[in-house]
Amino acid sequence: MRITVLLLMHLALSACTDDAPSHVGGALPGEPDIRVRVIRSTDAVQIDADATLQLQPIGANRKFVSDQSLAIAMKAGVWTINNEALPDIGLAPIEVRLIDGGPGDVIRVNGRAYPGLVHLVSRSAGDAPPTRMDVINHIHLEAYLPGVLEREIYSDWHLATFHAQAIAARSYALNRILNAPPTRTFDVESTQASQAYAGATTNPRAIIGVLETTGLVLTHGDQVLPAYYSSTCGGAGLSPDGAFANDEYWPPLQPVAHPAYCRHSRYFEWGPIRRNLVSLGNRMTAWGRQRRHPIRNLRRITDIQISERNDLDRPERFTIVDDRGNAYDLSADEFRTAANSTKAGPLPKKDRLLSGFVELEIRGDQVVIAGRGFGHGIGLCQYGAQQMAEEGHSGRDILATYYPGALIERAY
Ligand SMILES: [Zn+2]
């Protein structure tokens, strides 16, 4: 089976660069590691642990051992540890591990606890010497997942919801591991750009939900499904190609009609809200400039049309027209993120458009928006999954509803 072949290839590649047992607690046979970028672009970090820290520049013949908290910085292309410059190790990534820890011991980075290893990787800065680093947690996949469940769903939700969420999150993660570009230093972000990750957790349902589904993933054909999920579908889902306007096509991610299980979510219906057309236009041009999208040339908005809907009547594409008569095309999730952009980054949560599942009407210098759902709407609906669990459905029932036609198979 292809999954097994791909996993073995991945592990063989890992084995070339990682000759020591890498983690507290052993991996299952065939279980891969995942690389999670937990801090993006910082100039310094504070690292400590309850056990002895060992720092090893990868590929260099030096090790640093410490029982103390360490301040590590990247200054003008030189690593420093507690302000001591280490020019001889160059820009090699630094691997941080515990050498006398017990099971459950963690490495704390800026106070947040992570199981597994931590890699500090300098960020290239064109021709200039780097002054920043990324922090990447390397961890067995099963040890990573409780920290995802901790962040993605509420700790008092039903265990069946945790089962479904664990299998979806494992599938998404494994798909990303298997498809990571060779030059990338990480597989997933620790934010909702991939899936949220808390690091170490003691949340019992998160731990049990992962343990009781160990190794299980959603598949289609011979592939591990990138099992996207979002908070609240609002009663009708969307496919990845509909949400993101890419060519990602997976039959189990094509939405089908099902009861509006998420009807009790506070995000099921929202608005109407009003947006000034000038400020909305400014957000869309800011977003367009960040992505070199044609909408960076947008002038004053005169019209916004829903140009395509899917079979469930959920908007898939929007056309934005300006006072020069130029029309710009955005997918549903592009519309949502563009409407939430500013030059300085995303809007505060209270001002954000929660989804692209909206109806719009232009009134004078404003657009009135009424919406449904929260998130991109692909795959599992978290509030819907919780309602199904409350009604007595199992994790498997939930997954069959939101990923129709997918199989649940053991990857390791
Ligand atoms: Zn839903």
Chunked into runs of 10 residues, the chain (412 residues) has average pLDDT values of 42 36 63 97 97 94 93 96 94 95 91 97 91 97 98 97 98 97 96 96 97 98 96 97 87 95 97 92 94 96 97 97 97 94 76 93 95 97 98 98 98 96
Q: Specify the pLDDT at position 2.
A: 43
Dihedral sign, Cα of residue 393, residue 394, residue 398, residue 401: negative
Ligand 1 centroid to Cα of residue 233, in Å, is 4
Ligand 1 centroid to Cα of residue 235, in Å, is 5
Ligand 1 centroid to Cα of residue 289, in Å, is 33
The encoded tokens of residue 120 equal 């500090």
Ligand 1 centroid to Cα of residue 385, in Å, is 8
pTM of the model: 0.91
The amino acid occupying position 213 is T
Ligand 1 centroid to Cα of residue 255, in Å, is 11
- Please provide the distance, in angstroms rounded to a whole number, between the alpha carbons at the two ends of the chain: 12
Ligand 1 centroid to Cα of residue 338, in Å, is 23
Ligand 1 centroid to Cα of residue 34, in Å, is 29
Ligand 1 centroid to Cα of residue 163, in Å, is 17
In whole angstroms, give the CA distance from residue 198 to residue 181: 25
Ligand 1 centroid to Cα of residue 144, in Å, is 26
Cis before 272? omega within 30: yes
In whole angstroms, give the CA distance from residue 349 to residue 353: 9
Ligand 1 centroid to Cα of residue 336, in Å, is 18
Ligand 1 centroid to Cα of residue 366, in Å, is 29
Ligand 1 centroid to Cα of residue 200, in Å, is 29
Ligand 1 centroid to Cα of residue 236, in Å, is 7
Ligand 1 centroid to Cα of residue 177, in Å, is 28
Residue whose C-alpha is closest to residue 264's, from 383, 161, 356: 383
Ligand 1 centroid to Cα of residue 316, in Å, is 17
Ligand 1 centroid to Cα of residue 263, in Å, is 7
Ligand 1 centroid to Cα of residue 258, in Å, is 9
Ligand 1 centroid to Cα of residue 165, in Å, is 14
Ligand 1 centroid to Cα of residue 384, in Å, is 5
Ligand 1 centroid to Cα of residue 260, in Å, is 6
Ligand 1 centroid to Cα of residue 5, in Å, is 35
Q: Specify the pLDDT at position 7.
A: 44
In sequence order, what DSSP letters do the residues of 262-300 get, joined into one string?
GGGSTTSEEEEEEEEHHHHHHHHHHHHHHHT-GGGG--S
The amino acid occupying position 145 is L
Ligand 1 centroid to Cα of residue 211, in Å, is 26
pLDDT digits (tens, 9 = 90+) for 319-360: 999 999 999 999 999 999 999 987 777 777 777 899 999 999
Ligand 1 centroid to Cα of residue 404, in Å, is 14
In whole angstroms, give the CA distance from residue 321 to residue 340: 18
Ligand 1 centroid to Cα of residue 40, in Å, is 32
In sequence order, what DSSP letters do the residues of 251-263 get, joined into one string?
GGGS------GGG
